[in-house]
């Protein structure tokens, strides 16, 4: 009988512990969903456990501070500027000569740089922290320090003060107008939003919507040549943004370039989901998205195969489709795999190190995103865009904060930035599985760990030839991480590394104004990214012509073009209706 009270007390304490842990989790979700406080506290404790290193860090800071104070005094006595703490060469915040010419503004700049660099360097050097904790701590500290820059405040921004005086306050009035406009839009304008209209000076390549379903419109483009390749080219765009990044204007449009080269081009224009689509899944994007546009392209063209192209998450989707279709064909679930080749642009399939975005990917962060999506049935694109802008906050947030509000300027008209601000929503069920199964659990590279539309996914099932393009400075899909796919598929791979970043490295048309270059070659089995690059020769210009020459042998004979068919008739002209939602 004596066991009974012990059992009761044991159960009682277990229940209390569970409730306490749940309360902790709820408090973190409310006040600190990404674990900044917990990681910061851990860093502080780590330094206190190493007082010798803490002493060295503070001694170094005191020496630098004395050196800066002495230099500041000499500046007031007439010594020329030599930047004791020079800004980074790529940091435009202190580009105005007054930050060097004036001893006062120069000392303010140098004091800010001294403190920010000391804090960042020493936080990253914190003993006993793992690499992920260092990255998370440094990221959030960087956000605070960037926000506190003197250039972000009127009274500590000499350029803004001078502009206000010269304009007799007009710049401040315009800045207030800009601020009220951006508040209404819940976003900081990065470009002149009045300068662009989709269908008028963006997404203007002639074509027709030939299919409209729950998830997508299919756009087929008018031929610009007397004949086209019989095997159509199907472009699967990312549904995180709208498709017209592939058709910005006639000079930058990869769609127009392909049409001019004699290809029959189809593209996905994804529906912008609302709360009614909360239960749309990743399976649906595979079967009602990729499989559907392939069916449309095959029926109109009369071909039995297509060439696929996927950009960013669209590339992740078509990679998944290829693994799914090859497995389904082997199991007899479908007759054949209707794909001749695939092109993957800045495509992640291995999410072990997915770049800077990993600072948001942990259990608490994912739970927080789930809570946000549960309320609305979707994740608003502006919320996701804000996360990506934080990754480059100085150039993508505070640069526009100072220009729009302190200077009263209208941002320069730039089509890529307009497209970047034209965000879309993510269905709850799809985005939850995308973040948890791919980013968090990295199931896509684990054979048969992920089951989609009834088939276990194994990348080794992919036998189709692949042309991969990644970007050297890409922080969304780091090129060394995208490269790992080459050793996981069974078909031949041609890998291309373009200069620049996630967008400009891809939207990189040939011509005399092209300032980009690329490296190209077939990876050897077992070769890592650095070894692959080591013996490659950099080629000046755009990678587009090389890709087209690679694509032609998989594209079939020349046939007369056909825009639509009886089954898939023309519904309206491009760019259609979904892109305007």
Catalytic annotation, residues: 312
Q: How far is CA 389 from the centre of its chain?
A: 9
The residue among 144, 125, 138, 136 whose CA lies nearest residue 54 is 125
What number of other Cβ atoms are within 10 A of residue 205's Cβ? Answer: 25
Q: What separation in angstroms does the CA of 74 have from each of 107, 170, 248, 395?
A: 11, 37, 53, 33
The residue among 63, 174, 77 whose CA lies nearest residue 118 is 63
453 is written with which tokens? 């539309």
What number of other Cβ atoms are within 10 A of residue 64's Cβ? Answer: 16
Question: Cα separation of 161 and 178, whole Å?
Answer: 17
Asked if 191 contacts 414 with a C-beta cutoff of 8 angstroms, the reply is yes
Determine how β-strand 228-229 pairs with β-strand 572-573: unpaired
246 is written with which tokens? 């592939």
DSSP labels, 9-33:
HHHHHHHHHHHHHHHHHHHHHHH-T
The residue among 42, 28, 33 whose CA lies nearest residue 123 is 42
Determine how β-strand 455-456 pairs with β-strand 451-452: antiparallel
Asked if 112 contacts 151 with a C-beta cutoff of 8 angstroms, the reply is no
Q: Residue 369 contacts by C-beta under 8 Å, 6 or more apart in sequence?
A: 379, 431, 432, 435
Q: Which residue has the tokens 């930047």?
A: 83
392 is written with which tokens? 């480059």
| C-alpha torsion 221→226→229→230, nearest 10 | 90
Q: Which residue has the tokens 């796919």?
A: 485
Backbone region of residue 466 per phi and psi (left: phi > 0; alpha: psi in -120 to 50; beta: other values): beta
Task: Identify the helix (H) or strand (E) that includes residue 540.
Answer: strand 539-540
What number of other Cβ atoms are within 10 A of residue 405's Cβ? Answer: 22
Q: Residue 537 contacts by C-beta under 8 Å, 6 or more apart in sequence?
A: 519
Q: Residue 56 contacts by C-beta under 8 Å, 6 or more apart in sequence?
A: none
| C-alpha torsion 554→312→354→275, nearest 10 | -140
């Amino acid at each position: 009988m004596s066991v009974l009270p012990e059992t009761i007390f044991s159960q009682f304490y277990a229940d209390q512990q569970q409730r306490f842990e749940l309360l902790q989790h709820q408090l973190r979700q409310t006040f600190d969903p990404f674990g900044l406080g917990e990681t910061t506290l851990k860093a502080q404790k780590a330094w206190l456990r190493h007082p010798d290193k803490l002493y060295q860090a503070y001694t170094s800071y005191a020496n630098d501070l004395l050196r800066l104070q002495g230099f500041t005094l000499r500046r007031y006595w007439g010594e020329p500027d030599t930047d004791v703490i020079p800004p980074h060469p790529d940091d435009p915040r202190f580009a105005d000569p007054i930050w060097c010419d004036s001893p006062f503004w120069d000392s303010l700049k140098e004091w800010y740089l001294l403190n920010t660099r000391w804090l960042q360097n020493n936080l990253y050097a914190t003993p006993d922290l793992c690499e992920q904790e260092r990255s998370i701590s440094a990221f959030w500290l960087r956000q605070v320090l960037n926000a506190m820059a003197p250039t972000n405040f009127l009274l500590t921004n000499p350029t803004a003060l001078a502009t206000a005086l010269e304009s007799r306050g007009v710049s401040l009035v315009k800045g207030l107008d800009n601020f009220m406009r951006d508040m209404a839009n819940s976003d900081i304008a990065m470009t002149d939003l009045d300068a662009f209209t989709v269908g008028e000076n963006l997404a203007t390549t002639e074509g027709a919507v030939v299919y409209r379903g729950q998830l997508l419109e299919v756009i087929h483009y008018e031929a610009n040549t007397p004949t086209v390749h019989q095997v159509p080219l199907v472009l699967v765009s990312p549904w995180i943004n709208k498709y017209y990044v592939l058709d910005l204007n006639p000079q930058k449009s990869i769609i127009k370039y392909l049409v001019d080269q004699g290809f029959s081009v189809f593209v996905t224009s994804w529906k912008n989901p609302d709360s009614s689509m909360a239960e749309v899944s990743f399976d649906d994007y595979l079967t009602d998205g990729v499989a559907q546009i392939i069916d449309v392209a095959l029926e109109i063209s009369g071909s039995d195969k297509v060439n696929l192209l996927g950009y960013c998450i669209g590339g992740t989707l078509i990679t998944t489709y290829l693994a799914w279709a090859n497995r389904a064909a082997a199991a007899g679930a479908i007759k054949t795999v209707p794909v001749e080749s695939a092109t993957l642009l800045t495509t992640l399939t291995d999410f072990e190190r997915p770049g800077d975005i990993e600072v948001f990917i942990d259990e608490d962060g994912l739970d927080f995103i789930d809570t946000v999506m549960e309320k609305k049935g979707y994740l608003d694109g502006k919320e996701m865009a804000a996360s990506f802008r934080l990754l480059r906050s100085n150039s993508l947030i505070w640069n526009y904060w100072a220009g729009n509000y302190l200077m009263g300027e209208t941002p320069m008209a730039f089509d890529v930035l307009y497209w970047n601000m034209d965000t879309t929503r993510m269905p709850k069920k799809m985005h939850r599985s995308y973040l948890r199964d791919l980013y968090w659990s990295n199931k896509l590279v684990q054979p048969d760990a992920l089951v989609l539309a009834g088939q276990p996914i194994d990348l080794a099932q992919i036998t189709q030839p692949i042309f991969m393009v990644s970007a050297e400075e890409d922080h969304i899909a780091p090129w060394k991480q995208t490269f790992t796919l080459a050793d996981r598929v069974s078909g031949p791979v041609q890998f291309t590394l373009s200069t620049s970043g996630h967008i400009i490295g891809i939207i990189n048309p040939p011509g005399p104004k092209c300032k980009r270059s690329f490296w190209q070659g077939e990876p050897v089995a077992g070769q890592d990214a650095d070894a692959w690059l080591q013996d490659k020769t950099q080629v000046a210009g755009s990678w587009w012509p090389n890709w087209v020459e690679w694509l032609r042998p998989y594209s079939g004979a020349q046939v007369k073009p056909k825009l639509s068919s009886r089954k898939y008739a023309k519904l309206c002209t491009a760019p259609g209706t979904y892109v305007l939602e």
